[in-house]
Structure 1
């Protein structure tokens, strides 16, 4: 092999290794910063909470500490009378705690899984937060109204039973963190069509997990169709907030 060709290959190899090390270093810094942000958010959240026990695990599919901290802060500052959430869990506990500290308000939590619903209920009871939450559980049913899911999609759209929405009025905050994305395409889309007429004029709609394109597409469609301002927050899993001017 020509010595010049060999030298070029060696130079290319060292250059590639240098670039790889640089990319790895950047990734490590990014991971460290993300972990620090979540640890810091969890620390501040724990200071705000009045619960005696510990929060459920906040990794995996659970709502991230940065969103929960923002949620608790918002509920205590905005003093909502009615909060509705789709998908129970750590957000249920955090919202109920904020309502209790406010001294008024109710959270209506809609859950499709009896297993996770029981876990949430057990935690609420243990923390004496059950009076602040109306937990409603029911298996998902076919959604036959307008949906972003294509008509020829492999999985047809499903949503929470309409009976679980009975009596809900005057919503000040709507938190959308369910159903699971694997249910169907644009699984969370029905939340606003189902409850738009029940929102108070100054209500906000929060969409978790907007690092995912489907959730962003849903938020944009809601903003366009219902006249909301849309703002994204660069949290760990993303947060979209829709509000009126």
Structure 2
């Protein structure tokens, strides 16, 4: 029978216990740190999800408001197109009023301007569907002519062909006017070259600014007024398209700040603005 001893734990056994205690404390500390990190990550995840949900909610709200606007806008454009067909009887198939073309409400505003004005010359920056409808309006009025400036020869040819099949070549002329450098003040702009354009001073009753495209440069349409101003009649009207864009609104502001004879008239559509010259009262 083995004797039972009361010897204390050996030094080696004591070290093992202390090591275990230290290891347990380290594990506990690591556990607490991991728990804190998990909570932090969870909170960050929740914050990210919340931010994303807030963003999506804002986007859905904007889309919802836009959808509510589309219905009235479509009705407005449909009514404008119906009025155009009541006033004119096109002789051939019409191109779609879409893409870069003026909306029916813009074309109707142009027709109204033609009816209100003396209607000498109408200068249009750009060409297309609007050229055709303005030619119909000029023909119906019995005087005036549309001169359209087009920087792309392909588009110029297409608009000429459109006028021809509608029998309107006597009422509108499309000129190929490649973009050239125009120095105005301290800035240089790419705008229509006027070498082949013959205009008499103060002969233009209506100026339509629907080109060049915005991607040709910042404030690409600014030169229209300073370059053509000598040819504008004393009470000429200027219709600017795409004024829902920041760049075009800035161009309008530049024109108005530089010329005290300009008067803001009205906006016949969300992307249109009509201003007029009033030289005789300044």
Pair in the same fold by TM > 0.5: yes
TM bucket (normalised to shorter chain) is 0.7 to 0.9
Partner of 1:9: none
RMSD: 2.6
User: What is the rounded CA distance, in whole Å, between the counterparts of 1:203 and 1:232 in structure 2?
Assistant: 14
Bigger relative CO (Cα 8 Å, ≥ 6 apart)? 1
- Alignment counterpart, residue 253 of structure 2, candidates 214, 220, 229: 220
Query: Per-residue displacement from partner, 1:169-207 (whole Å, max 9, x unpaired)?
Result: 311111111111100000001111111111111111111
**Aligned pair count?**
229
Distance 2:275 2:151 in 1: 23
Report the more deviating stretch, 130-139 or 229-238: 229-238
SS at match of 1:162: coil
- 2:169 aligned partner: 130
State the partner residue of 2:5.
none
Query: CA offset at residue 127 of structure 1?
Result: 0.8
Correspondence for 2:104 among 39, 52, 65: 65
1:242 Cα deviation after fit: 3.1
Asked if the contact 1:56/1:90 (under 8 Å) is kept, the reply is yes
1:40-51, aligned counterparts within 5 Å? 40-51=79-90
Could you say what secondary structure the match of 1:165 adopts? coil
Residue of structure 1 in register with 2:69 after alignment: 30
Q: How does 1:1-245 map to 2 (within 5 A)?
A: 25-146=64-185, 157-169=189-201, 170-227=203-260, 228-233=262-267, 235-244=269-278
Gaps of 5+ in 2: 1-49
In the TM superposition, residue 133 of structure 1 has moved relative to its aligned partner by 1.4
| Partners of 1:138 and 1:200 in 2: CA distance | 22
The answer on whether the counterparts of 2:139 and 2:171 sit within 8 Å (CA) in structure 1 is yes
Cα pair 1:186 1:214 within 8 Å, conserved: yes
Take 1:77 and 1:20, find their aligned partners in 2: how far apart are those partners?
A: 43
Greater Rg, structure 1 or structure 2?
A: 2
